[in-house]
Structure 1
Amino acid sequence: MEPVAARVAELTGREVAETAPLGTSHDWELHRVTLADGTPLFAKAVPDRGERLSGLFRAEALGLDWLGRAPGAPVPEVVGWDADTLVLSWIEERPPSPAAAEDFGRRLAAMHLAGADSFGADWDGFIGPLPLDNTPSPSWPEFYARQRLAPFLERAADRGALTPGDVRVVEKVIGSVGDLAGDPEPPSRVHGDLWSGNVMWQGDGAVVVDPAAHGGHRETDLAMLSLFGLPHLDRVRDAYNEAAPLAAGWRDRIALHQLHPLLVHVCLFGAAYRTTAMDAARAALRA
């Protein structure tokens, strides 16, 4: 039996009929797994995780389980996991439609409104292959500045992908988050890495995958949906806004919320994202 098939069989307690590779993402492999009774599953596996990715699948499994406790949360079922493998229910994708987008907007609002005990989480996080500090905090501006912006600014600068002038601009944002964040909001139950590639469309809605789940600011998820484009985004936001009206000035804060994922991209992919990240930093300060 192939290693992935053996792992899935052990985690699910069910016989595996076949596995089919679906490519790779970062340092892990993706597979479609078919059980002996015909049930399809999705598996992520790290062939040689090493210490760098220790806790990766634990964070994802705990995050999906936590998000899924919200009524109607648009997340897949966690079937099983260990340090090297994560097994999820299979999602059969369909072309996006306006009706599916509206349903997704309402479900996303309900998930956010389920709330969190604090900003952060009770588990160490990851965004892609990079670690996240989820130490709980009572203040979103402090959490965002110290645990989202500052660590990735330091990592990007150490990599040489940002100039000293760039660093000073982002440091100014970090020092001003309290003034830029708008009126305080309670912590929301957020996905945390909600770019369009993590939205999988179905006939009647959408499912979100690969979370960096934590108690955060709900505008973060909305801002990330617009970062690289999402089909029917206006329908999603309108339905969301009907269910959970956004605070005044939310559009002016999009760049602030996009700065963290853009710094993550600078850390992962280098200076190719430098201009976009710096544009976001300057737009955040102008707002």
Structure 2
Amino acid sequence: MTRIAYVNGRYVRHADAKVHIEDRGYQFADGVYEVCEVRHGMIVDMTRHLDRLGRSLSELRIAWPMHRAALVRVIREVLKRNRVKNGLFYMQVTRGVAKRDHVFPHPDTKPSIVVTAKSTNPAIIAAKNANGIKAITVPENRWDRVDIKTVGLLSNALVRQQAKEAGAQEAIYVDADGTVKEGAATNVWMVDEDGTLLTRPAEHGILRGITRTTLMDVAGNLGIKIREEAFSTEKMLASREVFITAATSICFPVVEIDGKPIANGHPGSVSQKIREAFFDIAEKTSIW
């Protein structure tokens, strides 16, 4: 089946999709993005993803490329044209096409928008949940505004490659003082000796993940205690359980970090309970 993308007002073959060479996303990484899961024909947490898109655009002073309701129609149409029942959609908005200059272009410059979608294999995610994944820690070296979901992901790509070469699936950023921040594409959680769930506060230094936010609702519904509290690498390595969250994976248990097993080296019960209850709480919007 031919994949279809939406690019600046047109539905085109994915293989033919193009943006101008002077699009500011290409020249300066001057843009933002969102990735959202589709499960059994339902878009997961779309309202929160669009709310965060709006915040990211506002922080970079980029206008919405279209009315929000129109964007929802485009997303649904891209999913339907690609026949995605289980998978994801990706949307990216940049400041638009203008001659290369560091300062913003004329206010009339129209933002560029791309929406793509693809199916994923649920069996691969199920295997990672059953077996757990490995991670490494890396020094934080990104710009300070990681709370904005920008397309400037060079550091993230480099440390993900470093993780792959180390036989791991995620890299976890750590501050100079040893405090855990977040994964290259995930939020990081640990379960302490009392069974309390800890995650770093999202006011500064990490992205406020949508799955992270919904997971808090899920944990509350399950009666699991949560504290938004910074924790050290040493505390994480000594914890009862570590897991990471993201829109396309929900909740992956981490069984080894820097070659050291977490607890008994097997997925823990807290992440399993949260994963099993997640879609009972998350918002679900039909693609139809």
TM-score w.r.t. the length of structure 1 is 0.29
More strand, by proportion: 2
Relative to its length, the structure with more helix (as a share) is 1
What is the TM-score normalised by the length of structure 2?
0.29
